[in-house]
Structure 1
Amino acid sequence: MAAAELYGQGARVWIPHCTEVWRVAEVTRGYREGDDVLHLRLDDASELVYPVGSQLPPLCNPDVLCGEDDLAALSYLHEPAVLHSLRVRFLEANAIYTYCGIILVAINPYKQLPIYEEEVIYAYSGREVGDMDPHIFALAEEAYKQMSSGSLIISGESGAGKTASAKFAMRYFTTVGGSLGDCSVEEKVLASSPVMEAFGNAKTTRNDNSSRFGKYIEIGFSQTYVTGATIKTYLLEKSRVTFQVGLWAQGYAGVPRAWRPAEVPVSWHSQEKLA
């Protein structure tokens, strides 16, 4: 479709804004090929002459698609459309999950939500992706149902909730399939997390307990049961482990006296770091 038809009078576009990032404006005079500006009207009824430059501003999606649970269903898929859809779903529908094709987009609400209980897990069990609202349990069910070698790749910036998402996925597997033994794999993996986090985590400007390394968690199944898990770390800064000498002292303090070696340093803090 020609630009003159898309940017006719009444069309809505997104324009950059210094505080709102993107703002909606309505075209008041149809665009013609070769025009250097667009005549727009903002929400506050003020008029704006917007310089076109080398690229026309992104078009708004129809109102009927506002809050769509799959971004791939949008007529126009670009940065302002994605941000607006996620904002509407998060603020108006209190929905932190949104699909984008086979990808699940998650927004960290920084608070506890009642959407991870056992009854919610069983509600997603046996369902197809798309039958219910977007959720980490829906992806976990899809992986569990196929019961073949595969991976759930969880990525995001610091504080996005990657570690929490991995825990929820493991909880789904152990709840639906069960585990062999008295202690679930999820509990064992979660119990080991504080040890690794003590050596590999750090406080950042966005997260007080940011994981400064990657974790590859491999979960083993026998039929439908979870039989075990292997955790491998990567991109771990060795110097971060070396300089956490206080953790060794705390760990040593917890060892029963009968198990301690005969000769120990007088003061852990007085020892030179050799690595």
Structure 2
Amino acid sequence: MKKHYLAIAVLALALGMTACSSKKAEETTAAQTTEAETTTAAETTTAAAASESDQDEDYFYGYVKELTDQIVTVEDDEGKQVKFTYADAEFSDDRKLGVGDEVEVTFYGELSDGENKAVFIDIVTSAAEEAEEAAAEEEDPVTNGTIEKVDGKTMTVKTEDGTYTFDTSIAQQVTKGGIKAGVEAEITYYGDPEDEEEPAMATRIVTEDASDSADADIYMLTGKVLQVNSNTVVLETSDAEKSIFTFVGEDGMFDSLKEGDTATVSYEGTLTGRTITATGLQ
């Protein structure tokens, strides 16, 4: 009977050792597999990097024609279009890529008819920024500040950028309490506010108490009619330079005017353009 128990104990020990060996073998195999996979992935990445570095670096210049989340289509001056994936590309600055941008794309190897991988994109000019600048040029500059002094046809205003004097001889005045010292105002102008010899010309002054009025949304200029026809009028203003402004509107807009009349024309855009778009006759 003791021999029988001993045999059973030996058999149990043998089975335990077999199971333990099997488990260790499985763990070793799994570890070797993981290590092999990691090594293979690393080798693949290294091989890809080496493959890229072995190829010549090249550039493609043009303008962004189409844009998706992953692919940009660039067209050169001759009309050739090339697609680039740019998810991993570096950019020259923080500006967002957009349709119409002027770009130079760096890539490796030769261009294919399919998708090419961009490694660097230099945004030479931004279409969005150019549009913003063009829009800004179509309107006269505006500043806000506190009126410090009103002296005849000049006004001194303290702004965040400094204290400036404006010529107010032709300025449209939108106010309830008047243009006077201590009042907050918005001044539309043209010229250089920092020019002390020739003050910038204020074309519109809107005081804070009238900023919500209907007139605050209208731009107007008053002057003497020098020339007029059905859709065009030339006004001479009362400033020292006797400035002349040409307005163009719809046919028949100025039929009621004649030379020598004093007229007030509402307009949009900038007063510094060759012609100004007239929106009405006041």
- Does TM, scored on the shorter chain, surpass 0.5? no
Higher helix share: 1
Indicate the structure with greater strand content: 2
Q: TM-score, normalised by structure 2?
A: 0.26
Query: What TM-score results when the alignment is normalised by the length of structure 1?
Result: 0.26
Larger Rg: 2
